[in-house]
């Protein structure tokens, strides 16, 4: 903490050191948990006790027995920091061996920032007060906890506030409407609690847990939010079994309804450039019965559990989002999955998104839309063989080791699944057939694609089209750039011929691939075989108007003079006279 911040904090907190006669602030000045007041009846007016000091338990007793809201502040001299100084250097460790009195039964603020204002920033890695020995249980509404370090708090009522604590364990159990903001630590757990907000934290994992069988689902909780300050950095947590197999997660959703996970960075170090934990095997793990979950605009990367000895050394396991359990209504929209903070596809999992079979039946109504899914060792998206209605639309899927979309067959086979007559086979998404592309012609501002499509008879389908600089090694997909969609309805014999004109400009040499989605069910196919597009956007059309004319000549001269790489028309890495001749060639041909 710099000097200016320390002075501002001191001024802001000066009012918290008001005399006890005001009845609002109780200042703890003792690390030892000594109680020499009546624990059943003592109030603020009875402080301090005969020893002339106030312990934390005494402050809690007096606050619980005094009407109205009190603030518990700290001003413990460094000379009294005698408990565990080697383990918590630079901190006042307030400890108890009983813990019974660390339960809040009346509205209170516990403010560890006051200790920082009293003795200064003596712990550069966090705050200056540790409450050690048991958790603080906030059993009253509207309680707040600020500025603690290496402590545990459990909010067991409504409208709690837990903010700006370091190395904390935080639980919200029951009640509703609490805010957990700006903390660092291990786990934030929302347990059978509703309408809570978790924002701006840097932790290892977040759990949202309900109990549907007991009539207590966790409902309408929000992890993150749309603004930069709302973002949580959730680095992941995991362990290795005795055989060396890794297991762990960053975010868990269990028996929850209406959860929103938005704009978080999940699975990486806070800078977004490295894997967060080598035993984390799931970025967002769905389990139990969950409904109406939105996973939106997150960066999820670095989810790759590394096995160790004695038996799993060299094993890699992990998926960025694991859709498992029962329920329905999962929306995965606008996320970057497998990309680091520089948008490089270098922090992928084994699979980007998996819809995994569950013994009580698959999740219903899953939508995967507008995500970038890249850099994974196997497929971008894998749909288990009991799933149907997984709608996959408008994603950018590229640079994965396997195929972009993999529909698992009924006998658990992976890889490209060939089309079949009338689409009668079974497996993930009904093994929906994909289109067969016959031609793709790229003009200045559009792409014309023709093809055929065979599937179930007399049914409407949406066909989506994608472009990319290369075809997948399998010859199918992957689908890096979404360029548009069209609609077809199959005949009574299950066939549809199509020609679509897509309003997109693509580079010369691009490859085109496509998917089909059955309109009535949402079943999306794997990617079709890709074909090379003829034509393509002219590299000399700098204005993008479909013409190469004098305005492009002026634009080229400006780029040429400034040595802009965009003027490197012959692709040799230089901007020189050869590029000028190349431009004249395009100009003469009117490309």
What's the pLDDT tens digit per position in 399-428? 999 999 999 999 999 999 999 999 999 999
The verdict on residue 335 lying in a domain is no
What is the pLDDT of the chain when averaged over all its residues?
92
Q: Are 57 and 96 in contact (CB under 8 A)?
A: yes
**Radius of gyration from C-alpha coordinates of the chain:** 30
How confident is the model over 337-353, as pLDDT tens digits? 999 999 999 999 999 99
The verdict on residue 481 lying in a domain is yes
Statement: residue 572 has pLDDT above 80 = no
The Cα 449–Cα 443 span in angstroms is: 11
CATH of the domain at 468: 2.60.40.10
Co-location of 95 and 139 in the same domain: yes
The verdict on residue 370 lying in a domain is no
Q: Are 136 and 144 in contact (CB under 8 A)?
A: no
The Cα 253–Cα 359 span in angstroms is: 18
Co-location of 510 and 559 in the same domain: no
pLDDT at 8: 39
Mean pLDDT of 10-31: 59
Statement: residue 526 has pLDDT above 50 = yes
DSSP 122: -
Co-location of 518 and 571 in the same domain: no
Co-location of 471 and 583 in the same domain: no
Mean pLDDT of 161-181: 98
How confident is the model over 191-227, as pLDDT tens digits? 999 999 999 999 999 999 999 888 898 999 999 999 9
Report residue 465 as tokens. 């089209």
- Comparing 22 with 158, the larger pLDDT belongs to 158
The verdict on residue 171 lying in a domain is no
Mean pLDDT of 435-439: 97
Co-location of 434 and 521 in the same domain: yes
pLDDT at 15: 40
**Which of 100-104, 139-143, 427-431 has the weakest average pLDDT?**
100-104
Reported as a pLDDT band with limits 50, 70 and 90, residue 539 is confident
Range of the domain at 87: 1-166
Mean pLDDT of 346-370: 93
Instruction: Please tell me the total count of domains within the chain.
Output: 3
Statement: residue 4 has pLDDT above 70 = no
pLDDT at 114: 98
Co-location of 502 and 569 in the same domain: no
Burial of 128 (0-12, 13-18, 19+ CB in 10 A): buried
Co-location of 456 and 582 in the same domain: no
Single out the residue of 517, 519, 394, 511 nearest to residue 449, CA to CA: 511
Mean pLDDT of 299-318: 97
How confident is the model over 117-162, as pLDDT tens digits? 999 999 999 999 999 999 999 999 999 999 999 999 999 999 999 9
Statement: residue 93 has pLDDT above 80 = yes
The verdict on residue 56 lying in a domain is yes
The length of the chain is 591
pLDDT at 100: 80
Co-location of 558 and 501 in the same domain: no
Q: What angle do CA 120, 121, 125 make, to 5 degrees?
A: 165
How confident is the model over 273-290, as pLDDT tens digits? 999 999 999 999 999 999
Look at the pTM and tell me if it is higher than 0.85. Answer: yes
The verdict on residue 356 lying in a domain is no
pLDDT at 444: 65
Report residue 553 as tokens. 């000549």
Highest mean pLDDT among 94-103, 158-167, 574-583: 158-167
Single out the residue of 118, 150, 148 nearest to residue 13, CA to CA: 118
Give, to the nearest 10 degrees, the angle between helix 577-589 and helix 550-561: 170
Residue in this structure with the two tokens 């630590």, named with its chain if needed: 185
The Cα 162–Cα 497 span in angstroms is: 60
Single out the residue of 77, 69, 79, 73 nearest to residue 59, CA to CA: 73
Q: What angle do CA 61, 67, 68 make, to 5 degrees?
A: 105
| % of the chain beyond a pLDDT of 90 | 81
Q: Report in angstroms the alpha-carbon separations of 17 from 23, 117, 237.
A: 11, 10, 40
Mean pLDDT of 248-259: 97
């Amino acid at each position: 903490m710099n000097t200016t911040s320390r002075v501002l904090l001191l001024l802001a907190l000066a009012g918290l050191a008001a005399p006890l006669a005001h009845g609002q602030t109780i200042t703890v000045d003792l690390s030892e948990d000594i109680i020499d007041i009546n624990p059943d009846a003592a109030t603020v007016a009875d402080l301090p006790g005969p020893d002339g000091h106030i312990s934390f338990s005494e402050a809690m007793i007096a606050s619980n027995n005094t009407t109205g809201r009190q603030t518990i502040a700290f001003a413990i001299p460094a000379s009294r920091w005698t408990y565990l100084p080697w383990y918590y250097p630079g901190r006042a460790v307030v400890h108890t061996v009983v813990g019974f009195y660390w339960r809040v039964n009346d509205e209170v603020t516990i403010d560890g920032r006051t200790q920082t204002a009293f003795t200064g920033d003596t712990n550069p890695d966090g705050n200056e007060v540790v409450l050690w020995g048991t958790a603080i249980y906030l059993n009253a509404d509207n309680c707040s906890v600020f500025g603690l370090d290496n402590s545990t708090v459990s909010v067991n009522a409504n409208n709690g506030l837990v903010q700006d604590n370091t190395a904390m364990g935080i639980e919200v159990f029951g009640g509703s409407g609490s805010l957990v903001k700006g903390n660092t630590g291990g786990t934030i757990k929302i347990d059978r609690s509703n309408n809570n907000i978790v924002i701006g934290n840097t932790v290892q994992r977040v759990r949202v847990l309900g109990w549907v069988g007991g009539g207590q689902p966790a409902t309408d909780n929000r992890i993150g939010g749309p603004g930069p300050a709302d973002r949580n950095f959730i680095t992941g947590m995991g362990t290795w079994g005795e055989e060396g197999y890794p297991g762990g997660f960053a975010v868990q959703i269990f028996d929850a309804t209406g959860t929103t996970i938005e704009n978080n960075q999940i699975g990486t170090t806070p800078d977004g450039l490295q894997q967060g934990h080598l035993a984390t095997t799931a970025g967002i793990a769905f389990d139990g019965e969950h409904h109406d979950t939105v996973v939106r605009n997150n960066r999820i990367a670095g989810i790759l559990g590394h096995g160790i000895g004695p038996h799993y050394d060299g094993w890699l396991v992990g998926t960025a989002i694991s859709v498992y359990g029962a329920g329905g209504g999962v929306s995965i929209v606008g996320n970057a999955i497998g990309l680091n903070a520089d948008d490089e596809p270098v922090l992928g999992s084994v699979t980007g998104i998996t819809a995994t079979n569950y013994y009580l039946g698959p999740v219903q109504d899953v939508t995967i839309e507008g995500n970038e899914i890249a850099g994974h060792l196997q497929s971008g998206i894998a749909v288990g063989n009991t799933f149907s209605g997984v709608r996959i639309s408008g994603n950018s899927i590229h640079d994965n080791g396997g195929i972009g979309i993999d529909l698992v067959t009924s006998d658990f086979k992976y890889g490209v699944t060939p089309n079949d007559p009338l689409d009668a086979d079974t497996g993930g998404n009904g093994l929906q057939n994909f289109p067969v592309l016959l031609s793709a012609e790229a003009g200045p501002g559009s792409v014309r694609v023709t093809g055929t499509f065979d599937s179930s008879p007399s049914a409407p389908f949406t066909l989506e089209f994608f472009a990319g600089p290369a075809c997948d090694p399998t010859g199918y997909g992957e689908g890096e750039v979404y360029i548009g969609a069209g609609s077809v309805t199959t005949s009574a014999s299950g066939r549809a011929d199509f020609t679509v004109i897509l309003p997109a400009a693509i580079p010369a040499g691009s490859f085109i691939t496509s998917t089909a989605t059955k309109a009535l069910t949402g079943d999306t196919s794997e990617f079709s075989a890709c074909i090379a597009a003829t034509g393509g956007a002219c590299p000399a059309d700098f204005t993008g108007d479909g013409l190469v004319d004098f305005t492009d000549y002026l634009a080229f001269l400006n780029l040429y003079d400034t040595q802009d790489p965009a003027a490197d028309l012959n692709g040799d890495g230089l901007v020189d006279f050869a590029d000028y001749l190349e431009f004249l060639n395009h100009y003469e041909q009117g490309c």
